[in-house]
Amino acid sequence: MATIEDIAKKLNISKGTVSKSLNGAADVSETLRKTVLETAVELGYTRRPRKQEAKHLCLFIKNMLYAEPSDFGYDIVIGFRKAAEPAGFLVSVVPLDDAIQTGFTYDAYMLKNNFAGAFFLGLSLSDPWLGQMQTSTTPAVLLDNYVKINPTTCYVGVDNNEGMELAISHLKQLGHRHIGFLSGTLGSYVNHVRHSAFFDALRKYDLPEAHHLAGNAVYVSECLQKHLPSLLQAGVTAIICGHDLLAHAVMVHCQELGLRVPEDISIIGFDDLPICAYTTPALTSIRQDRTQIGKSAFYAVSSLLAGVPISTLLLHTQLIVRQSTAAALPAPKIVQLPPVSGR
């Protein structure tokens, strides 16, 4: 393992300057500090924890709301804290802006701030730090992102295949045969996984697959405009959505088009956010238990810290059946679609 002396030698500076740089002293320039941190990472330097000092974990959040109980991230953050703090860890929540990611490499940022490990919420496939995870050395647990081979990274999430099978099996029992799927952008790993899981589940339950029955788009409104009309024209009697807010928007839009939910069309969401109980009708949804996701992410990060190279940790899902799903109509109801606007 590299020492402060090794770093000093490599950069041809004094041990005192290295030490000051690592410890954030004010009289070291930001440029030198960055060089020292990156050299330390390159040489494999790690801080020796002081006795009695609590280990510090960082919970990075991007592209995700978490301030209110109705937000997706809220219970995840609480679950993580609830597991980490009694085990003697400090947890800092850091909104991950682009400045952080371009200012430092992931490993250098963690070393600089004396964080032992991280839990990431909401990284997209284009985030620079996600690319670095191929070779990073600081334990990182990623919600809904999978990094192969690196033994210090772990993917945490729900068993999307199981969730999708629960939804498809429920719809099949209700007599549905033509089922559509709408979701967010494929620039996110988990949307890819749910998209494949949807088709795998159709095959498993022997239902017709037609690739035009699935659509995805970055924005909810784009999804409604671009994909919902063709699903309805193709005669789907049920739609599964990649997240609850999209499902809610699809439900309202169908109602505006004169379709009754669930009599004319069944709708299923994903996540089981608090809103599901309060939509009209109440939304059937594939539940991810977010408090338990937070807790299991702590299990994962503590395994990585103990050198147990967990790659993947998935939680069971549940289908919460409410009022937005019902028996399929013998034939899909034909709706008069408004002309597509130029937007």
- The distance of closest approach from Cβ of residue 308 to its own copies in the complex, given in angstroms and rounded to an integer, is 5
Instruction: Answer whether 152's CB lies under 8 Å from 139's CB.
Output: yes
- The distance of closest approach from Cβ of residue 343 to its own copies in the complex, given in angstroms and rounded to an integer, is 39
Number of CB atoms found within 10 A of residue 326's CB: 20
Q: Closer to its own copies at the Cβ: 115 or 155?
A: 155
Q: Closer to its own copies at the Cβ: 165 or 264?
A: 165
Task: For residue 189, give the nearest of 121, 278, 272 by alpha carbon.
Answer: 121
- The distance of closest approach from Cβ of residue 287 to its own copies in the complex, given in angstroms and rounded to an integer, is 10
How far is residue 298's CA from residue 294's CA, in Å, rounded to a whole number?
7
Q: Closer to its own copies at the Cβ: 272 or 289?
A: 289
DSSP-assigned letter for residue 329: P
- Tell me the DSSP string of 162-186: HHHHHHHHHHHHTT---EEEEES-T
Number of CB atoms found within 10 A of residue 125's CB: 14
- The distance of closest approach from Cβ of residue 314 to its own copies in the complex, given in angstroms and rounded to an integer, is 4
How far is residue 118's CA from residue 338's CA, in Å, rounded to a whole number?
48
Q: Closer to its own copies at the Cβ: 109 or 298?
A: 298
Which pairs count as long-range contacts for 308-312, CB under 8 Å and 24+ apart, including other chains? Answer: 309/151, 309/152, 310/154, 311/148, 311/153, 311/154, 311/155, 312/146, 312/154, 312/155, 312/156
- The distance of closest approach from Cβ of residue 312 to its own copies in the complex, given in angstroms and rounded to an integer, is 4
Instruction: Answer whether 189's CB lies under 8 Å from 133's CB.
Output: no
Instruction: Answer whether 317's CB lies under 8 Å from 287's CB.
Output: yes
Q: Closer to its own copies at the Cβ: 92 or 135?
A: 135
Q: Closer to its own copies at the Cβ: 107 or 289?
A: 289
Q: Closer to its own copies at the Cβ: 163 or 184?
A: 163
- The distance of closest approach from Cβ of residue 194 to its own copies in the complex, given in angstroms and rounded to an integer, is 16
How far is residue 211's CA from residue 213's CA, in Å, rounded to a whole number?
5
E-strand stretches of 5-161: 55-61, 89-95, 117-121, 140-143, 153-158
Beta pairing, strands 117-121 & 153-158: unpaired
Instruction: Answer whether 167's CB lies under 8 Å from 201's CB.
Output: yes
Q: Closer to its own copies at the Cβ: 137 or 292?
A: 292
Binding interface with its own copies (CB under 8 A): 148-151, 158-159, 162, 165-166, 289, 292, 295-296, 299, 303, 306-316, 318
Q: Closer to its own copies at the Cβ: 306 or 331?
A: 306
- The distance of closest approach from Cβ of residue 80 to its own copies in the complex, given in angstroms and rounded to an integer, is 12
- The distance of closest approach from Cβ of residue 19 to its own copies in the complex, given in angstroms and rounded to an integer, is 34
- The distance of closest approach from Cβ of residue 151 to its own copies in the complex, given in angstroms and rounded to an integer, is 5
Find the distance separating the first CA and the last CA of the chain, reported in whole Å: 59
